[in-house]
Amino acid sequence: MSVLSIVKYPDKVLRDKTVPVGNIDGGLQKLIDDMIETMYAAPGVGLAANQVGISQQLAVIDVGIRDEKSRLIVLVNPEIVHLEGEIESEEGCLSIPDYTTVLKRAMKVLVKGYDREGGPVEIEAEGLLARALQHEIDHLNGILFVDRMGRIKREFFKKRYSRTIE
């Protein structure tokens, strides 16, 4: 396993909608292992494939650092099929280091997809896991958490962040 480079904002790959995974093969298994290693090394609670420059619908999540009941989740071709409620909480992103903001997200989610062996997966989640699922699936759709901020907050972010990347 190896730690991959995490793509940073404003890289274009973060804005592109990823393509569905067609084959679950040895190459995908290695990518999954490398993504898990990268997420833990960062450290983060989730990582989408496009955050390491791979435009595929693949994400790894482990909120176990903050929620001991949780376990490592590998999601292939995930989709959110139900959202419920609303909650505000602080959020950050490995692709936008040293920046967090309070965002509204659904309180509960139902996600369907496949595990690393290609078996169907259905996850009902709330709390931090629900937030992480929404965040990573947004990534796979080319949406960054800063896109979910209000217009004024987003303009402030762009001004502040453009200074740090110059």
Q: Does 37 qualify as catalytic in the annotation? A: no
Burial degree of 22 (CB within 10 A; 0-12, 13-18, 19+) = exposed
Give the tokens for residue 103.
């965002």
Helix (H) or strand (E) holding 48: strand 46-48
Closest CA to 16 of 53, 45, 47: 53
CA–CA separation, 71 vs 63, rounded Å?
7
- Residue among 79, 122, 136, 155 flagged as catalytic: 136
Catalytic residues: 136
